[in-house]
Structure 1
Amino acid sequence: MAKQNKTSVEAKSILKDLADRKYRPVYLLHGDENFFRDQICSYLLENALPKEQQAFNLFQVYGRDLTGGQVADMASRVPMNAPFILIVVREAQELKALRPLAQYCLRPNPQAVVVLNYSQKYKPGQGKSSDNAMLLAAIKGSGVVFESAPLRDYEVAPWVEEYVKEQGLTIAPRASQMLAYQLGTDLARVASEVKKLQIGMPPEEHDITETLVAETIGMSKEFNPFELTKAIGTGNLPEAIRIATNMAANPKGNEVPVILATLHSYFVKVFRYSVLQAKRIPEGDIASRLGVHPFFLREYAQAAARYPLAKCASVFSLLRSVDMQSKGFGASVPYGDMLRETIIRIMR
């Protein structure tokens, strides 16, 4: 299995502690990926306090409506018939006057849980004496600081497999690749599509197949970038041309920059496979370093045998040239002809 993304691992660790009711007095959640931050906030709001205790002990507010001092005052209260009060500050980056809150976080109320949810990367400011820097240092000492960083493209498919597993389902490796390719790194959108897939499955079914994904997200199971690279990797030129011709006839989602980026990413992995294999790295570690499911290693092994390092280098040069041509440098060539010619030149 490919190595899990650091952000995802940290989010799971926090959620596990919350499930075990191991609460910290202050949480600073920040970063450009909304999914993990919102997942942690939602879990706290739904599970930290039972319904009958929420009326007087749960506060969900917005940074624009309060100052840091007011949040500190709220957190200093005594809970009413509950083990603690829960304060979730959304859009916390809009909070003003943070120094009183920083001072509170040095010695937080043990009967309060404060969650500061920043919808962007936290900026500590200049110097250790800035209010933002003081707040960050205080929370590091008494609570949890979690950065929800976006996943890289190659990390999405492994994340999909883990997320699907958490929902009590399984997914075919190529099906997870199709989801990642079609939906990108927007994890909330990916999670939403997985939910749609789950709703559309018969109760007795638990496996998300390539066919189901293709039908749900509107992607051809037969004519897609993964089948194209598979044909190229195995040296099946007629099949590669057939797939490319169909993709060119249906350019939505198969635009030139997207296909070139897919081919470049594929050959980078083929190149790296050869380098790692030459160093006698174990197969499991190779899969992790490439960021691919072990299921696909055989395909990369076949491709590496067919496209040695020198050939990969020439493919990179060719793709750069085609990219420039597609942007108007040089003679204009119809998309279908350009794609077919590129594939022929790669495989010959």
Structure 2
Amino acid sequence: MAQTAESVLKDLEAKKFAPLYFLQGDEPYFIDSITEFIEQNALTEAERSFNQSVVYGKDVTMNQVLESARRFPMMAMRQVLIVKEAQGIQDIGRKAAQEQLITYAQNPVPSTVLVFAFKNKSLDGRSQLKKTLEKHAVFVDSKKLYDNKVPSWIKQHCKLKGFNIKDRAVGLLADHIGNDLARIANELDKMMLNYEDGSVEITETMISKHVGISREYNVFELQSALGKKEVFKANQILNYFEANPKNNPVIPIISMLFSYFSKVMLVHQNRSLPKNELARLLGVNPYFVSEYMLASQNYPLNTTLNIIKYLHQADLQSKGVESVASESQLLKELVFKIMHA
């Protein structure tokens, strides 16, 4: 049965190392986190010279990997063998290689920690190989987080590092970066180096300063201006976007606005729900529910439906379908339509 990355990391932190790990999926952050922890902590620095090997899939066959895994450690309790980019193993798609791994998985060498980092791909769920690995190995299926799960992940990451983070700071970071967990973690970890005292709460100002996001001119604030129908503020943000196009590409902006107005639509359909239940449905902190409620008042149901149509049309145009306008002009026209819908 597949395990979560969090549970595997918890075991590793407790020095519980298994003989075989198979890490697959389209979210590389969790695969890299487990791999790097094993690489840095399974052996002491002195033991690594003779007992740790890191290879890349394209450079090896399955037979070569398993022959190395069957060796015994030298003057250490264990040896570590990590296969990065394991999806590139030369014969991984062949029946003979898969049967070799099945045989090894059923009786792995207990003094070896063998790690397959099988990134951006997954084994066939019906295959005997996958069923065997789920049963006999530490098997992790690392999946991309949905956008509405990213804020809670950011909070958890900060908590593990000993920091609290304000809700608006979470929203600013999630809206700016999206679900690129590796980049979010990297930006947060770099910022935390400046604040050794874990009692410091991470704020919007800190995110703006260290991550390079304008506190006043970002998609998060554009959504807020649209929801409140603040025309002047929205146009200020659009002018900033036009002056800084590389940092504000139009396609993700449209995607975020689509997500925003989709939530406004959900408010229309579920207005009678208690605040906490509505927040759970929207995938936001209860703190933000009042903003979506205000937007639903400013944009009635039929108007919201029209706005979603405008966003869909703008998305197509941003990708080159029936569009001759520049990105900035496209965005200005979109915002005008939303404000006057």
8 Å Cα contact 1:61-1:90 kept in structure 2: yes
Residue 76 of structure 1 corresponds to: 70
Offset at 1:14? 0.8
Moved more, 89-98 or 333-342: 333-342
Q: Which amino acid aligns with 1:298?
A: S
Residue 94 of structure 2 corresponds to: none
Identity %: 35
Offset at 1:338? 5.5
Pairing partner for 1:87 from 81, 84, 91: 81
- Distance in structure 1 (CA, Å) of the matches to 2:77 and 2:316: 63
Residue 51 of structure 1 corresponds to: 45
**For the structure 1 residues 259 and 53, does the alpha-carbon distance in structure 2 shift closer, same or farther, using more than 3 Å as the test?**
closer
Offset at 1:121? 0.9
Offset at 1:296? 1.3
Residue 225 of structure 1 corresponds to: 219
For 1:121, what is the secondary structure of its paired residue? coil
**For the structure 1 residues 83 and 287, does the alpha-carbon distance in structure 2 shift closer, same or farther, using more than 3 Å as the test?**
farther
Offset at 1:119? 2.6
- Distance in structure 1 (CA, Å) of the matches to 2:254 and 2:176: 15
Cα deviation 1:290-316 (Å, max 9, x = unaligned): 222332122112222332322210111
Residue 106 of structure 2 corresponds to: 106
- Distance in structure 1 (CA, Å) of the matches to 2:313 and 2:124: 43
**For the structure 1 residues 100 and 245, does the alpha-carbon distance in structure 2 shift closer, same or farther, using more than 3 Å as the test?**
closer
Offset at 1:47? 1.8
- Distance in structure 1 (CA, Å) of the matches to 2:316 and 2:58: 47
Residue 188 of structure 1 corresponds to: 182
**For the structure 1 residues 323 and 186, does the alpha-carbon distance in structure 2 shift closer, same or farther, using more than 3 Å as the test?**
closer
Pairing partner for 2:35 from 33, 41, 46: 41
8 Å Cα contact 1:27-1:116 kept in structure 2: yes
Residue 311 of structure 2 corresponds to: 319
Offset at 1:203? 5.0
- Aligned pairs, number: 332
TM value normalised by structure 2: 0.83
Pairing partner for 1:308 from 300, 312, 329: 300
- Distance in structure 1 (CA, Å) of the matches to 2:203 and 2:82: 39
8 Å Cα contact 2:175-2:220 kept in structure 1: no
- Distance in structure 2 (CA, Å) of the matches to 1:325 and 1:108: 54
Residue 116 of structure 1 corresponds to: 116
Offset at 1:275? 2.2
8 Å Cα contact 1:168-1:206 kept in structure 2: no
8 Å Cα contact 2:176-2:218 kept in structure 1: no
**For the structure 1 residues 151 and 242, does the alpha-carbon distance in structure 2 shift closer, same or farther, using more than 3 Å as the test?**
same
Residue 169 of structure 1 corresponds to: 163
**For the structure 1 residues 222 and 100, does the alpha-carbon distance in structure 2 shift closer, same or farther, using more than 3 Å as the test?**
same
Q: Which amino acid aligns with 2:117?
A: N
Offset at 1:264? 1.4
Pairing partner for 1:21 from 11, 15, 19: 15
User: Are 1:60 and 2:54 counterparts?
Assistant: yes
TM value normalised by structure 1: 0.82
- Distance in structure 2 (CA, Å) of the matches to 1:137 and 1:37: 19
8 Å Cα contact 2:224-2:291 kept in structure 1: yes
1:129-168 → structure 2 map (5 Å cutoff): 133-168=127-162
Offset at 1:11? 0.9
Offset at 1:346? 2.5
Residue 285 of structure 2 corresponds to: 293
Offset at 1:323? 4.6
Pairing partner for 1:346 from 324, 338, 341: 338
8 Å Cα contact 1:264-1:316 kept in structure 2: yes
8 Å Cα contact 1:69-1:99 kept in structure 2: no
User: Are 1:283 and 2:275 counterparts?
Assistant: yes
**For the structure 1 residues 286 and 48, does the alpha-carbon distance in structure 2 shift closer, same or farther, using more than 3 Å as the test?**
farther
Cα deviation 1:189-209 (Å, max 9, x = unaligned): 222211221233475872222
For 1:200, what is the secondary structure of its paired residue? coil
Cα deviation 1:322-343 (Å, max 9, x = unaligned): 455665747x667666545543
8 Å Cα contact 2:87-2:121 kept in structure 1: no
- Distance in structure 1 (CA, Å) of the matches to 2:61 and 2:317: 55
- Distance in structure 1 (CA, Å) of the matches to 2:27 and 2:121: 9
**For the structure 1 residues 239 and 144, does the alpha-carbon distance in structure 2 shift closer, same or farther, using more than 3 Å as the test?**
same
Pairing partner for 2:232 from 212, 215, 238: 238
8 Å Cα contact 2:162-2:198 kept in structure 1: no
C-alpha RMSD over aligned residues: 3.0
- Distance in structure 1 (CA, Å) of the matches to 2:175 and 2:114: 37
